[in-house]
Amino acid sequence: MMRFTAALAMGIAMGLSASTADDWRTELERRLSALRPERSAEYLALAEDVMDRASTAPAPDVDRALARRLASLAGAIDVREMGRSAALFLVEHAALDADRSRMLALAALLDPSSDVRVEAAERSEAVMSLVRAFALYRRGEGNRAKDALASGGAAALLDRHPEILKGGSARFRADCDAMRTSGPPAMAQSQVEGLHSLASGSIAGAPRSWSEAIARVGPGPLPEVDLKDPRALFGVDPNRCLWDGKGWTERQPAPVVVPAPVTVPAAKPRG
């Protein structure tokens, strides 16, 4: 009798568990379909719920990837309002150290509690422009690298740090011009470490773990933070943010409202 009771209880528990899982999948589909870019916070709220339940899902890795995409969409849709919260979520759940490093840098730049945020933004603009310039430089994109170097005071900053590149900005531009025939020049590890050190020291309010993350990444890809390019920053297209039951589709532009012509009554002749 006791064995029967235990088996019955186990069967009921398994049935309830299956029912709960089915209810969650139904709710998930409903919430995905209801997402709209004008309510970007709902993307992040759903990301947190999906991540919390992922360990018990039939395909945990698929659900974790969905949660990261939802958070990325929240940040890409509205960088100023949701970017930092989305970045902190992705720091915790990033699949790659390079992604974690970039999100930590972004979270620091968007930190509203920093007492020196304005000063840090001014100082970080030059550093981030220089980091971006060297990322393009290492990929062999000479023209874009020169454009990045020309923005935000990056060229002057490079000239003050010969440990990154002897010859400074003039050498950098010359290397970019030569890339058309010779390809991108190799950077020594000491040069990359110098650039990492400059970047990590520039970001006010950056958590201690950010420099540790950079140390783990070593001479690999440099963290690029460009607030004007949310697609590259979060790795998703913010316009493909509507769920149709099978995948993400592009939102339609708002219809252009043409005002009705205004008819002005003709003036009555004086008489």
User: In this predicted structure, what is the pLDDT of residue 16?
Assistant: 42
pLDDT in tens, 137-162: 888 899 999 999 998 888 988 888 88
Q: What is the H or E stretch that residue 60 is in? A: helix 60-77
Ranking 50-54, 82-86, 172-176, 228-232 by mean pLDDT, the lowest is 228-232
Percent of the chain with pLDDT strictly greater than 70 = 69
Ranking 192-196, 220-224, 247-251 by mean pLDDT, the lowest is 220-224
pLDDT in tens, 200-227: 555 443 433 333 333 334 434 445 567 7
DSSP, collapsed to helix, strand or coil, labels residue 259 as: coil
CB 192 within 8 A of CB 221: no
CB 169 within 8 A of CB 133: no
Strongest mean pLDDT among 13-17, 41-45, 184-188, 255-259: 41-45
Distance CA 161, CA 168 (A): 7
CA max distance for the chain: 112
Mean pLDDT score of the chain, rounded to an integer? 78
DSSP, collapsed to helix, strand or coil, labels residue 249 as: strand
For 136, 154, 258, 267, 268, the CA distances from 261, given in Å and listed in that order, are 51, 51, 9, 18, 21
DSSP, collapsed to helix, strand or coil, labels residue 81 as: helix
User: In this predicted structure, what is the pLDDT of residue 106?
Assistant: 84
Which two tokens mark 101? 């490093």
Q: Nearest CA to 89 among 69, 61, 113? A: 69
Q: Residue 59 has what DSSP assignment?
A: S
Q: Dihedral sign, CA of 192, 195, 201, 204?
A: negative
List, as one string, the DSSP characters of 149-189.
Answer: HTSTTHHHHHHT-TTT-TTHHHHHHHHHHHHHHH-PPP--H
Distance CA 36, CA 55 (A): 27
Which two tokens mark 140? 């062999």
Q: Nearest CA to 156 among 190, 127, 198? A: 127
| Residue, of 17 and 43, whose pLDDT is higher | 43
